[in-house]
């Protein structure tokens, strides 16, 4: 089954960041794009040409930086750097927006002494406003001096990519490949406009594993389908979503491919990094008070299970019930039934944590007080078993609160 993995194959690095894998530096600063003094420009730079891969939003209206990054990675599957701004999405900004994204790429490439096509660009923030390029230019001139291979520099980068996020999102693991220690690390942002098929998120993965661009692309796509494409906050898919991975190869292992004996272990480590970041985005949903996890088992296929899990996690009624600590399983079964997937209406079980509320599609008497206490917790797991076949999937989201409306009613102000 797609989402299972053995955590024993890798080890979480408590103080790791995107700078932990060999060859990577990062940094961030405030250049004036945000109204506050929070960092709003950051970069990750690799000392050597890194194998690169990318996954992008499915929204038809794709922001200018996505065009630039697609072009950079497509030129040879190699990157030396990614530069990111927050506070402005540079989306729906026409020819000027495209020119600004290319200027960001060119100016930063010149500042660090690499070819322009070896630099990716990402932006996040308000849609439809032109970048303040005087601020960007001055920030790019200052940014190289802020780059370092330290945890603090990695933290500065994490802070620079945030918008309405309340917390930074980062993770690092180590895994043994050919007897050598390989690191996989990631940083992401995302809080609102989050929906499967990428979210309003930016994600960046660094690793010192030796792996080719095509193999990395395959693993990144698979990891995305199991993690970032299985989260939702509000049902909206952004114009700017991007996930970029860079591999320096400096760990010294034999190049990874599907025939390598440690391929599965590395794949599990990469997927774990993406899962931690995806769940952190869901937990930090705008106004959210709880992380919701929906586990679907017994579907006719993994794809059917994914569709059902996404439908349940995306239901405003389910999200509202969890916010109110209301054990209203009827909203869950209704979402299961409208997911457009095969379901036997006589065989469905539903549990809230360990509390059985439905068995063989029939109500089960349960302790309402116990259910209330469970739903008041900061993590709620909804189990759905269809008892049809072996398909399974897990999706993540958050509750729908009054604060979500408040935050998004005044996003531009």
pLDDT at 400: 83
Q: What is Dmax (Cα atoms) for the chain? A: 68
pLDDT mean over 75-84 = 97
What's the sign of the alpha-carbon dihedral 261, 263, 268, 273? positive
pTM of the model: 0.85
Percentage of the chain modeled with pLDDT above 90: 77
CATH topology agreement for domains 7-283 and 291-409: no
Q: Kind and range of the H or E element at 349?
A: strand 349-352
Q: Which fold has domain 291-409?
A: Ubiquitin-like (UB roll) (3.10.20)
Residues 6 or more apart whose CB falls under 8 angstroms from that of 314 comprise 195, 196, 232, 235, 397
Q: Inform me whether the pLDDT recorded for 142 exceeds 60.
A: yes
pLDDT mean over 78-97 = 95
Q: Inform me whether the pLDDT recorded for 2 exceeds 60.
A: no
- Beta carbons within 10 angstroms of residue 98's beta carbon: 16
Enumerate the domain spans of the chain.
7-283, 291-409
11 is catalytic: no
pLDDT mean over 185-212 = 76
Q: Inform me whether the pLDDT recorded for 240 exceeds 80.
A: no
CATH 1.20.1630.10 fits 7-283, yes or no: no
Q: Inform me whether the pLDDT recorded for 283 exceeds 90.
A: no
pLDDT at 289: 86
Q: Inform me whether the pLDDT recorded for 4 exceeds 70.
A: no
Q: Tell me which of 8 and 51 has the higher pLDDT.
A: 51
Predicted confidence (pLDDT) per residue in 113-133, tens digit: 999 999 999 999 888 999 999
Least confidently predicted of 135-144, 147-156, 229-238: 229-238
Percentage of the chain modeled with pLDDT above 70: 92
Confidence of residue 233 (pLDDT cuts 50, 70, 90): low
CA-derived radius of gyration, the chain: 22
Q: Are 64 and 240 in contact (CB under 8 A)?
A: no
pLDDT at 172: 98
Confidence of residue 199 (pLDDT cuts 50, 70, 90): very low
Q: Tell me which of 255 and 62 has the higher pLDDT.
A: 255
Residues 6 or more apart whose CB falls under 8 angstroms from that of 48 comprise 23, 80, 248, 249, 250
Q: Tell me which of 410 and 203 has the higher pLDDT.
A: 203
Separation CA 157–CA 408 (nearest Å): 25
Q: Inform me whether the pLDDT recorded for 287 exceeds 80.
A: no
Q: Are 246 and 205 in contact (CB under 8 A)?
A: yes
What's the sign of the alpha-carbon dihedral 361, 365, 368, 371? negative
pLDDT mean over 122-146 = 95
> For residue 351, which of 279, 294, 408 has the smallest C-alpha distance?
294
- Active-site residue identified among 200, 224, 232, 401: 200
Predicted confidence (pLDDT) per residue in 29-53, tens digit: 999 999 889 999 999 999 999 999 9
Q: Inform me whether the pLDDT recorded for 195 exceeds 70.
A: no
pLDDT at 349: 98
């Amino acid at each position: 089954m797609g989402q299972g993995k053995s955590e024993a194959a890798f080890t979480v690095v408590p103080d790791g960041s995107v700078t932990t894998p060999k060859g990577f530096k990062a940094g961030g600063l405030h250049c004036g794009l945000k109204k506050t003094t929070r960092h709003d420009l950051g970069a990750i730079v690799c000392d050597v040409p890194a194998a690169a891969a990318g996954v992008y939003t499915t929204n038809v209206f794709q922001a200018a930086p996505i065009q630039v990054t697609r072009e950079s990675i497509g030129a040879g599957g190699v990157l030396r750097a990614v530069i990111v701004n927050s506070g402005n999405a540079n989306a729906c900004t026409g020819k000027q927006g495209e020119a600004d994204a290319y200027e960001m790429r060119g100016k930063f490439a010149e500042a660090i002494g690499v070819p322009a096509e070896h630099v990716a660009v990402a932006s996040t923030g308000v849609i439809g406003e032109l970048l303040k390029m005087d601020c960007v230019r001055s920030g790019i001139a200052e940014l190289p001096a802020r780059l370092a291979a330290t945890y603090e520099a990695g933290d500065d980068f994490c802070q620079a990519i945030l918008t309405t996020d309340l917390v930074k999102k980062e993770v690092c693991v180590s895994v043994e490949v050919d007897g050598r220690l390989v690191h996989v690390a990631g940083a992401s942002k995302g809080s609102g406009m989050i929906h499967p098929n990428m979210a309003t998120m930016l994600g960046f993965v660094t690793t010192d594993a030796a792996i080719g661009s095509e193999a990395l692309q395959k693993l990144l796509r698979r990891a995305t389908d199991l993690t970032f494409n299985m989260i939702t906050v509000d049902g909206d898919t952004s114009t700017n979503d991007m996930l970029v991975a860079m591999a320096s190869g400096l760990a010294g292992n034999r190049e990874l491919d599907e025939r390598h004996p440690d391929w599965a272990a590395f794949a599990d480590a990469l997927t774990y990094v993406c899962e931690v970041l995806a769940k952190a985005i869901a937990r930090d949903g705008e106004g959210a008070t709880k992380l919701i996890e929906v586990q679907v088992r017994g579907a006719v296929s993994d794809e059917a299970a994914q569709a059902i899990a996404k439908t349940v996690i995306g239901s405003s009624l389910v999200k509202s019930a969890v916010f109110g600590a209301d054990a209203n399983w009827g909203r869950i079964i209704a979402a299961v039934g409208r997911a457009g997937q095969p379901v036997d209406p006589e065989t469905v079980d539903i549990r809230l944590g360990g509390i059985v509320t439905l068995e063989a599609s029939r109500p089960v008497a349960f302790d309402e007080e116990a259910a209330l206490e469970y739903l008041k917790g900061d993590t709620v797991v909804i189990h759905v078993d269809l008892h049809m076949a072996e398909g399974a999937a897990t999706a993540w989201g958050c509750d729908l609160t009054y604060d979500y409306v408040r935050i998004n009613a005044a996003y531009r102000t």
